[in-house]
Structures are given as structure tokens and as C-alpha cells.
A and B are shown apart, each in its own frame.
Chain A
Amino acid sequence: MSALRIQQGSTSHSAYDLRDYHAEVIEKHTLAVLVDNEAGVLARVIGLFSGRGYNIESLTVAEVNHQSHLSRITVVTTGTRDVIEQIKAQVGRIVPVHEVHDLTVEGPSIERELALFKVEGTGNNRIEALRLAEIFRANVVDSTLESFVFEMTGTSEKIDAFAELMRPLGLVETARTGVAALARGSHI
């Protein structure tokens, strides 16, 4: 079957791929979507997800090429393999969408998130928070006598882990950017 020759994750082809079919296994995929930076384009993508009942775990968007008015939307989604393929095909046919890349299957990629944590505390808790921040390479970007704001970049898992440790030490507020991701290597 020619399906064998369809590149994995390719959007110019179909939603078809030949990997084993496990209908029930829920997978997490990171998609990079290049879109025209025009009014409403984010609403189109999000509207598609809500309208068709797909999940969004994380979403980031910003213009990445000013000359050609291109924005990059990075969306982390979950679903069965069929649903993921369907999501890619559905996103791919939105008119202002240029490319859809499934970074999870297209080869190694790196994912980073930035987070800010406000931790309140005094005494030992405060010292312990600072010590852990050092281990996690989080920076102090604001401090008062009773609080720190830590800034940290890393994978979502690393940020989750840090947040978990800060909770008993006085974590009062968190802001996260959501995932930004790129394929590794020199190719685009």
C-alpha cells in the first residue's frame, strides 16, 4: 500500500499512518502550527479544538517571522492515535495554516516552558526554598523580606516537580507560559 510511503506526521498527505493501531491508548503530542499572523487565527485554531471536542493541555502563540507575518502556535494535546491524526488533518485544512508538525513523532525535539513562582515565607522555609531554587537553576527575579519570585525555564515536568516542592514552602502564585518547542538538529 502506498500508505507505507507516506511520511510520518506529514500533513500534505492523509491522516493515515501505519504504526500499530491502539485505539484506547491516550497519547500526548506536541504540535507546531505555522499560521498567517492575521486577526482571529488563534480563535480559529482554538474554536476547532473546542468545536470538535479535542483537548488542549497547553498553548502558546507568538509572531515568529515579522516579514512574512507568520506566527507559531505550539499546542500540546492528548488523544488516541486516531484522534491525534484527525486533529492534525483538521488543523492542516484551516485556510491560514501553512504547516502542521507533530514534534512528538517527527524526530527528537526540545520543549521548554517558562514559569514564575511566588513563594512566601520566613525562616527555614525561606532558606529551603532558596536552596531548592539553586538546585533547579531557578533565578530570583524579585524579593522582599517575606517572599521570592523565582523564574525558571525547563520542561513541563521539571516545572511541575519544582512547583510540587515549593507548595509546602509557601507557594502562593504561579504563572506558566505553556510549552514552546522546536525540532532538534539543523533542519527546519
Chain B
Amino acid sequence: MTRQMTGAKMVVQALKDQGVDTVFGYPGGAVLPVYDEIFQQNDIKHVLVRHEQAAIHAAEGYARSTGKPGVALVTSGPGATNAVTGLTDALLDSIPLVVFSGQVPTFMIGTDGFQEADTIGITRPCTKHNWLVKDTDKLSETIHQAFHVATSGRPGPVLIDLPKDVQFADGEYTPPAKAKVSHYQPRVKASIEEITDLVALIEKAERPVFYTGGGVINSGPGASQLLRELVDATGFPITSTLMGLGAYPASGKGWLGMLGMHGLYEANMAMHGCDLMINIGARFDDRITGRIQDFSPNSTKVHVDIDPSSINKIIRVDLPVIGDVGHVLEDVLKVWKSRGRKVADTSAWWEQIEEWRKVRCLTYKPSETVIKPQYALERLEALTKGMDRYVTTEVGQHQMWAAQFLNFEDPNRWMTSGGLGTMGYGFPASIGVQLAHPESLVINVAGEASWLMNMQEMGTAMQYRAPVKQFILNNERLGMVRQWQQLLHGERYSSSWSESLPDFVKLAEAFGAKGIQCSDPKDLDDAIMEMINYDGPVIFDCLVEKHENCFPMIPSGKAHNEMLLGDASVEGAIKSDGAVLV
């Protein structure tokens, strides 16, 4: 069943056939034919953002909270170049996106035509793959292939560049079922030898730790379920990267908290001291490993990953297991059960972990007069616990505090820019999440500086009635930069002030949204409840302590057992060797 239609119509038809319901985009000359088709149908909702970067982040938020690929549409030239940051963000965090960009007509390519950019060249290194479609007959197959590539193997963003004449021309539409099968079929099942070897290691380990990452979440809710089963059945402790929070519930008995540069003391010490490390869907990022030479010196390391290039890229592992996390966990459970569910005695290990926990590394100095950012998040957590809640963040101290102080019980509930660390991610992402989950509470935990980077999206939030809550921890500082300058650059605070900030309440009101400001800890609970209960977008300007530092912290180039503990150590909460404090 093939049909003749214009390229522009094909785009819309292919999106429908791929089950797409929402497209984030911004029009321009080179994509007008597609916009014309969007106008003439009602199945696909187009969300007009206010900047193309936001279209990509919104699509990321949509994708990460639903597990479906996010779709965005931008025009040629500046539309495409504005999308580059978002594409790079999605590439580093393995978020499936299909992005369409307009292009000058094929006969003008290479002539420096109006709004021409070498979009394929520019986006080649920041997409998983990209295509310039020059022939309308090939367009629909290319789109189906794009969805396949974006979502299979290690997910990622892909881009299709659409010259305007290709959108106008007629061609034959191929439905997904008729499309050629792609040779791109990454292996999802690990070999039985790999599985059996992993099970044998599980059976013998005395000081094991699961180290999980975003790959578990990308593998789908089933993978998180299997992870919970395996962790609880073995009784092993588990820590997770920033990207993997929620795959295992924060209330679970094996949970150690997040690891890494601002991870929990017990999590990092467990990584350092374990005899078996089982990395599932994480990639030994430098924010996780600290100094490579001293990374977990005495452990046997297993790495489960769908991407072979992640294996031995940074840390040499003893047992690579190449496959999809869900498939691998299923097989491991099967084999482990069939061999009698054996585990060694890990009680001494747990006792050690309990000792580390006593450090209470998240301790901070409370205050009666100023709102501590940690306190603000503790209250936000307490007041939203159990709600149908999604959280996005910007990038900075607030992001790390959010990871430390908010608890996630389920996957796909936590959206943050991990790999690229993109300030400006959180607000548009929150809109993408909210549009996918209209009835849920969606909060963007923001820093004032990051939030300003995409503040134009207030217009989008208002237009689409996305009642996103912008919870800004306003320290009037580029806080994370200031912290590094304090600790590493002799307290020379070079350009880390947030000068000339807007009045956030008036700003909200200017867009027709609600603004709330809070500066007194005593008012905080009521203010947060007011934010939650308001039916519409809210900018919550939470004036917090300006010079708070985020601890624990492994300074760059230090090892896991060289964490700075900050107030927890100042308070004398740590009784053991001071060597760990540096």
C-alpha cells in the first residue's frame, strides 16, 4: 500500500504512523510546507516554543518522562544552529529524539543561500546519525529509519534535513511496515557465558555493590522492575549515577544514595572498598570515577552496557556484558535462581556501610533566619512526597542538592542534564514533561542564573497552559562557579555574581503567571503549598543563603576516599580518620 503525496504531507503521515502525538518546534521559511500540513490536521499537536534550543529540551523532557522518542521541528540556518546545544545534550545523555530541520532547496545547497547552513555537517558530531533527504521518494523510509536508529541500541538524537523542494515535491509514501529492514540492529541479548560468569561473581562476592545509571531507565520500566528484584533478592547495596535516579527506589533497603562528585559518602566509600562492582547501564563518567588510578582499586568489575564502545573506554573491566539492561537482568535472574539463589555473607560489608552512613554526609548547618537551599528541598520533598510528581532541574548547586535531597521512587520521574550540564535545560524540559503528563505535578528545581537562560519559555508555558512550577533557589550567584572559585581559585569571584536580576514575581505577572517570593524559613511551607495548589505556571523565587557550598564533594582529580565533607565534618559528625577529609 503505497500512496502519492507531497514530502511535507509525508512528514506528518510518517509521524502519525510512528505514533507521535506532540511536536515541539518553531517555523521559518524552509519548513513552511510542513507547517502548512500540520495546520490541516488534528492528530499531532504542535507546540510553539520561543527558541529552538527549548524545542529540543522540551522534546527531551517529553522523551525521558514517557520513554517515547521526542520530536522537534526547526527551520534552516539559525533554527538548526539553535538546536545544536539540545542535540548535544541529548547525545550525551542518550535521549531518543527525531529532529527535522528545514533546508534551502536542493538546487541552492552550497550557494550560501538565505538561511543556508551546513546542518548535516554541523550536527554530524552531535547526533547519533543524520540524513539529508534529496529525493521525496526516499523521505518516508528515511523517517521510519530515523525512529529506528533513535530508539534502538543506545538511544540518541537523530536529525533529518529537509530541503524545501523535497517538501513540495510528490513522492511515494511507504508505511513503516513496508520500510526496508535496517542493517542497524545492535545486539540486545548477552551471551550465556557472560551471564553465567556474572552470576558466579554474584554468588561469591562479600563486598558487592551495584552501580547503576541512565541505561537502566533507557531500557524501560521492565528493566527497573528486574533491577529491584535482583537487588532485593541478593541483598546487595546499590548506588546510582545522577542519570539513573529512580530506577531503584530511594526507599528501597539496598539504597545507598547517589554516587560521584557530589554523591553520598557511603556510596562513594562502597565503590572504593567493594570487591565486586556491577556497573549496569552507566559509563564510568569522570564525575563518577574521580582519579582513575585510584578508582575502586580492589574490585572485580563487571560492566553491562548496550554500547560496546563504553567498555574499557575509561576503566578496564574484568567482565564486559554487552546487551540491553532489561534482557541481561532477566537472564541473570533466571540463571542465578536456577543455580540456587546463592549469595555469600555480606553482613560485615553492611556493617561497614552502616559505619559510613553514621557520618551523615548531607548534614548542613540549619538556620532560623535564612532559607538554606538544602532545607528548601527537604521541605519540597516532604510536601510533595507521594504525589504524582516529576522533577526537572537546571545545572549548578541546586541540581546537586536536588539529587541529594529529593527522593525518587520510580524511573522516568527525574530529568536533568547530566553529560553536557546544560544550563537552561530544566525549564523547557519541564514544559515537555508537563505536556506529556498534563495532570501531574511538574517542578523545575532551578538556579536563578540557569533559569534566565531560557526564561522566554514563560510564553510557551502560558500558551499551552502547562502549570509548571519553577522552583528557583535564588542565591544571586552562579553558585557552582562561586564554589569552585572559593575552593580552588583563592576566593577570587570572577564574574560569578548574578547582577541585575529581574523581580521574578513581576516577571511572572508580566506573562500572566503567578509569582511567589519567599525569604523566611517560617513561611516556606505555606509558600510551597501555594505553589503546588495554584492551577497554572508559577515562578517561585526562593531567596536562599548566598554562600552555601554543596557537599560532599570529590574535588576533580581526587579519589573517592578523598571526599570533602563540609559541614558534616565541621560539626564533628565524622569520628573516624581525618584523612578522608583532606
Contact = CB atoms under 8 A, between A and B. Distances in A.
Given A2-B197, A98-B183, A15 B313 contact: yes
Contact of B312 (A36, A85, A95, A96): A85
B311 interface: yes
Contacts of B316: 21, 82
Interface stretch (B122-130, B242-250, B391-399, B406-414): B122-130
B124 A15 contact: no
A113 to B, nearest CB: 29
User: What band does the interface of chain A fall in when counting residues whose beta carbon is under 8 Å from B?
Assistant: 20 to 34
A99 to B, nearest CB: 10
Contact of B193 (A5, A21, A40, A47): A5
Contacts of B129: 94-96
Nearest to B182: A95
A82 B312 contact: yes
Contacts of A93: 153-154, 186, 307-309
B107 interface: no
User: What band does the interface of chain B fall in when counting residues whose beta carbon is under 8 Å from A?
Assistant: 20 to 34
B121 interface: yes
Given A1-B197, A2-B197, A40-B124, A86 B320 contact: no
B44 interface: no
Contacts, number: 72
Contacts of B320: 3, 13-14, 16
Nearest to A12: B187
Interface string B118-154: 0011001100110010000000000000000100011
A43 B191 contact: no
B191 A95 contact: no
A86 B191 contact: no
Nearest to B153: A93
B491 interface: no
Given A40-B120, A40-B124, A51-B125, A92 B322 contact: no
Interface in A1-56: 1-3, 5, 11-16, 21, 36, 39-40, 43-44, 47, 51
B128 A89 contact: no
Contacts of A2: 191, 193-194, 196-197, 319
A104 interface: no
Given A1-B197, A2-B319, A13-B322, A47 B312 contact: no
A156 interface: no
Contacts of A47: 124-125
Contacts of A98: 183
Interface string A105-148: 00000000000000000000000000000000000000000000
A90 B125 CA distance: 12
B556 to A, nearest CB: 20
A43 B184 contact: no
A43 B121 contact: yes
B286 interface: no
Contacts of B194: 2
21 contacts: A2-B194, A3-B318, A5-B191, A11-B308, A14-B311, A14-B322, A15-B308, A15-B309, A15-B311, A16-B320, A40-B124, A43-B124, A44-B124, A85-B312, A86-B313, A89-B309, A90-B309, A93-B186, A95-B129, A95-B184, A96-B129
Given A2-B193, A13-B322, A40-B132, 9 more contacts: A2-B194, A12-B187, A14-B311, A15-B313, A40-B124, A47-B125, A89-B308, A93-B154, A94-B129
Interface of A: 1-3, 5, 11-16, 21, 36, 39-40, 43-44, 47, 51, 82, 85-86, 89-90, 92-96, 98
Closest 8 CB pairs of A and B: A2-B193, A89-B309, A14-B311, A95-B129, A14-B320, A2-B194, A14-B308, A89-B308
